[in-house]
Amino acid sequence: MPRITRRAALVTALAAATAFSLAPAAASDNAARGAHDPTSLFSADVATYNVYLGATLDPLFTATSPQELVRLAGEVYAGVEATNFPERAGAIADQIAGHDPEVVGLQEVALWEKGPLGGQLQVTYDFLDLLLDELAERGHPYRAVATNWNFDGTLPISATEQVRFRDRDVIIVRADLPSPLLRVTNPRSGTYGAVLEIPTAIPGLTFQSPRGWSTVDVGLFGASFRFANTHLEASGPAAIRNAQATELAGLLETSPLRTVLVGDLNSRPADTAGAYGILTGAGLSDAWLATGGDPATGFTAGQSATLLDENRLRSRIDYVLAGTGVRAVTTEIIGDEEADRTVPTGFWPSDHAGVVSRLRFTR
């Protein structure tokens, strides 16, 4: 729904509720009934988007010597510069602003720093700040309310320079709604107990790939729910990803509120014994399927590392999952059309597409 319609409905709801509390009974009943469709009081628009860290780290793990590792790290960072997140942030902001969800879960919200070997590092790309700035410029301000930090590594990229990469997942919410309409409380985050270790051919060098989760409790006029965001392990044995999904399912099971989970699960719907099956088996329904999405489409992952090739989305691993008392009524894939590519270069906004869903809550 366009922003002005959605926001107007919420503001009208607030006005009707205020009238109801202040006016005589008969008049307030009429105001509450006539202001708008009351079902909008019990709905929320949510989204998930993996914004792509800018390059694949996989080449680093193939290095057979320190010298080769430096060369490969330099190539990875050059890839980050080439995929130009400042330009891509505008395209991602266009997609989010065009649907105006109240709550969004972001993954691969990279923080890149560079500096001289042994010296002070300076931020070169803060994906969160860049995206929030682009949203604000479009008149659609958002704010970050919960963050979990994942991979963190520093490597030399030449004989004189080093780079640090930190990965995070972030929950953002609309910043233009007054607190009576949108309240966010109880931010929590954590790291999964199951962590992928990636050995290399370089003696004594092993990489670790921690992953985590974040949650916030959302009060959106007439509805309250716990919103969770995650990015499960993409590489290594499936047992690690499955253990993370099991841990997450246990965390969500303890929620006193209705639950909405979004994120990149790195697990396809056919993975019934894996992460997808673990989470849907724990009572979470797949919004794409629940709203009539074709099981054979809805692809969200697979664009090339350069983001410049033809559309290569071939798998569905990014989801909005709804718990008991939450019903998805619409779901849409975003950032997957030719018209969504950046100007002037023509990048895909990310190597993933996003997912936006309208959810309705029982009273």
Report whether 291 contacts 75 (CB < 8 A): no
Cα distance between residue 23 and residue 14, in whole Å: 14
Cα distance between residue 311 and residue 26, in whole Å: 58
Instruction: Tell me what pLDDT residue 2 has.
Output: 43
Average pLDDT across each block of 10 residues of the chain; the chain has 363 residues. List them in order.
Answer: 52 52 39 41 91 96 96 98 98 97 98 96 98 98 98 96 98 94 97 96 94 97 92 95 98 96 98 97 98 96 98 98 96 98 98 98 80
| Residue spans of beta strands (DSSP E) within the chain | 43-50, 103-107, 111-116, 122-126, 142-156, 161-174, 182-191, 196-199, 206-209, 212-220, 223-231, 258-264, 285-286, 318-322, 326-334, 354-361
Q: What does pTM read for this prediction?
A: 0.91
Provide the 3-class DSSP secondary structure of residue 303: coil
Instruction: Tell me what pLDDT residue 179 has.
Output: 86
Pairing of strands 103-107, 43-50: parallel
State how far the alpha carbon of 32 is from the alpha carbons of 41, 168, 344, in Å: 11, 42, 49
Instruction: Tell me what pLDDT residue 81 has.
Output: 98
